[in-house]
Chains A and B, each alone.
Chain A
Amino acid sequence: MLTKVIAFIAVAITGSLLLYGVADFPSFGDPNSPANAGVEGGAPSISQYFITESYKDTKVPNLVTSVLADYRGYDTMFETVVVFAGGMAIFAILRVLRSKEEPPKPQSRAETFVHGDHNRIIVGTTCKLVIPVIQLFALYVIAHGHHSPGGGFQGGVLIGASFILLALAADLKTALSRLNEPNYIRLACIGILIYAGFGVLCQILGGNFLDYGVLQPVLFTDGPEMARSHSMLGVEIGVALTVSTIMFAIYANLASRGTLNEGL
């Protein structure tokens, strides 16, 4: 009880300090705030630069994608590495590699059902209808991130969610037979290698790390702008591979206590 009171006091003090700080903010969407209009006599504002110049630089209409994958590509690469490290940490903590003989579980009620497992049939049919649509939409989100909201992280999470849905609707073994453990670890590593490979390729061709403009002779594009646009797509595919497989790996290890032989 005492710890709760102390925690409440700490939270209240921090919250009031944050609210006190918020009072000095410019109002939401204020065009004259320093972040939007720049400081008088100083450097021009970075938001204005992104709004006016990012399409000319990268030929990507969605500024969020161009900022995420090109201007801040280094940051996004290590975000992906953080996701990968999270998955590997859960693997290291939970995964039981020594196979012990476990007593057979008592059959759940759905398996002993006399009238056939109608629950499995209804949920399974719906999943058969829905999972391909989810995966198709995920591919659309990954590939269409240049023009509409979306990108590697969102599409990757959707693909991972489709495998989790399969594991929930049937069981973990069915999902693991589609994407087994060596393969998802391999795919997660390949995703990061794709991202870092784009960076190293730029260095080999004489540019900076992740400076996609120099990839123009490799990608056979019209100019450095289109090379940036296409390499962003490649980078997003790498992010999507890592995120989707890591999401499924986290679920599989959490749901089966690391034994990967039973699910929820």
Chain B
Amino acid sequence: MIFVILSAILIVTGLVFFVGSAVGLLRFPDFYSRMHAAGKGDTLSSLLVLLGLAVYQLKDFHGFSEDWPILLVIIKILAISVFILITSPTSTHALMDAGWEDGIKPTIQKGSANHLEEDTKDI
């Protein structure tokens, strides 16, 4: 029972982060902040949902001798989450870099400090 509750908490937290990243993707002003919302939110929420699924598998686990297939399922889910942990930030980074090479300028609010010129002078 405790595992079901724990997995429900994890999955619901993951879905909350998913909603956050979707709202950020729709509401942020420019490419870079949108990718920021999508990349960060997606990675964390996928990890949380997968961890929730892994914890949910534990509810039928009674002993190692007869329930070892459950452990195999958990190891597979954890392998998927490690894969996502590695690849999702990299793909976000590659997209950001492609956008920068393509010459997309970040939106800067009028009146706020703008360090873009001096930061990118030597590039």
Q: Are B123 and A123 in contact (CB under 8 A)?
A: no
Chain B: minimal CB distance from A9 (Å) = 36
Q: Are B122 and A123 in contact (CB under 8 A)?
A: no
Q: Are A108 and B86 in contact (CB under 8 A)?
A: no
**Interface residues of A toward B: which range?**
10 to 19
Q: Are A114 and B94 in contact (CB under 8 A)?
A: no
Contact with A along B93-105 (1 / 0, CB 8 A): 1100100010000
Within 8 A of A (CB), among B47-86: 83, 86
Q: Are B101 and A123 in contact (CB under 8 A)?
A: no
Q: For B97, list chain A residues within 8 Å (CB).
A: 110, 119
Q: For B83, list chain A residues within 8 Å (CB).
A: 130, 133
Q: Are A109 and B122 in contact (CB under 8 A)?
A: no
Known contacts A108-B101, A109-B101, A130-B83: does B123 contact A122 (CB below 8 Å)?
Answer: no
Q: For A110, list chain B residues within 8 Å (CB).
A: 97, 101
Chain B: minimal CB distance from A194 (Å) = 30
Chain B: minimal CB distance from A141 (Å) = 13
Q: Measured between alpha carbons, how far is A113 from B90 in the docked complex, in Å?
A: 19
Q: Are B123 and A130 in contact (CB under 8 A)?
A: no
Q: Are B122 and A114 in contact (CB under 8 A)?
A: yes
Q: Are A129 and B86 in contact (CB under 8 A)?
A: yes
Known contacts A113-B123, A122-B93: does B101 contact A130 (CB below 8 Å)?
Answer: no
Chain B: minimal CB distance from A105 (Å) = 15
Q: Measured between alpha carbons, how far is A115 from B122 in the docked complex, in Å?
A: 9
Which B residues are within 8 Å of any A CB, using their own CB?
83, 86-87, 90, 93-94, 97, 101, 122-123
25 A–B pairs (Cβ distance < 8 Å), ordered by A: A108-B101, A109-B101, A110-B97, A110-B101, A113-B123, A114-B122, A114-B123, A115-B123, A119-B93, A119-B94, A119-B97, A122-B90, A122-B93, A122-B94, A123-B90, A123-B93, A123-B94, A126-B86, A126-B87, A126-B90, A129-B86, A130-B83, A130-B86, A130-B87, A133-B83
Which A residues are within 8 Å of any B CB, using their own CB?
108-110, 113-115, 119, 122-123, 126, 129-130, 133
